[in-house]
Amino acid sequence: MAGRLEDKVAVVTGAGAGIGLATALRFAEEGARVVVNDIDPAAAGETVGRIAEAGGVAQAHPADVCVPDQVEGLIDAAVERFGRLDVMHNNAGGARPAPLLEIDEEAYRWQIALNQDSVWFGTRAALRVMVGQRSGAIVTTSSGAGQMASPGLPVYGMAKAGVQSLMRYVAQEFGRQGIRANAICPGPMATPGLLAWLDTLPGGAEAFAALQPQGRLGTAEEIAHAAVFLASDEASYVNGVTLPVDGAVSAILASPRPT
């Protein structure tokens, strides 16, 4: 039986670790040809190696997704190699947790560039190809911090809220051209970045996980499953949606947060 993304061409940014790595692997498992982006060439190469070992097809393209010309080059490379672009997964991101009044301009600019500007650049570059094809799916990794105030994440949350809005605008403007755009909002996930931060708090990651509605943190693979669905034809009438994958954190009025 053919995979859910059989013969589709997908670009995944930030695919050297965490959610991006898990999604690139799942896309390949479902039959997609994957262009693996990461700012770290070695990390991108390792992801491609894992896909190849499993019998999939992938190409590494290291680039800084905060730089417009490099993003254009990423999309151009995908089309040059595989002839089209079916899925754009804007996934690269990161945070520098701190109280609002302690965030300097450099930390502010860095978080806006990585979490919001990169999605703008990636979405526009992908749309230029997808409009000509009259088809395509854009999937953006947002965050629950973009829906609810999360202590220490004012800039990150602001940027993540912005990309949710962008996906709705893309859905509204380009839906008649066969293009869908959706966002995923992960809750607290057992990714390297969050685990490192939680380990600086009293009780660490284990104590924080125990407070969650399902008694644990989510996994990168669980986000990847959602990304596969949104990228696939199974989601052909799902457009402009922000999908929480958070173990009910967003369903509860007073969700647990670190103190």
Going by the DSSP 8-state scheme, the letter that residue 237 receives in this structure is T
What are the backbone dihedrals phi and psi of residue 202, each rounded to the nearest 5 degrees, phi first? -60, 130
Distance CA 242, CA 247 (A): 15
Going by the DSSP 8-state scheme, the letter that residue 170 receives in this structure is H
Give the torsion through C-alpha atoms of 3, 5, 11, 17, to 10 deg.
Answer: -40
Distance CA 84, CA 202 (A): 49
Clarify whether 237 is annotated catalytic: no
CB–CB of 135/87 below 8 Å? no
Give the other-Cβ count within 10 Å of 106's Cβ.
9
Instruction: Please give, one letter per residue, the 3-state secondary structure of 1-42.
Output: CCCCCCCCEEEECCCCCHHHHHHHHHHHHCCCEEEECCCCHH
CB–CB of 185/244 below 8 Å? yes
Question: Which residues are tagged catalytic?
Answer: 156
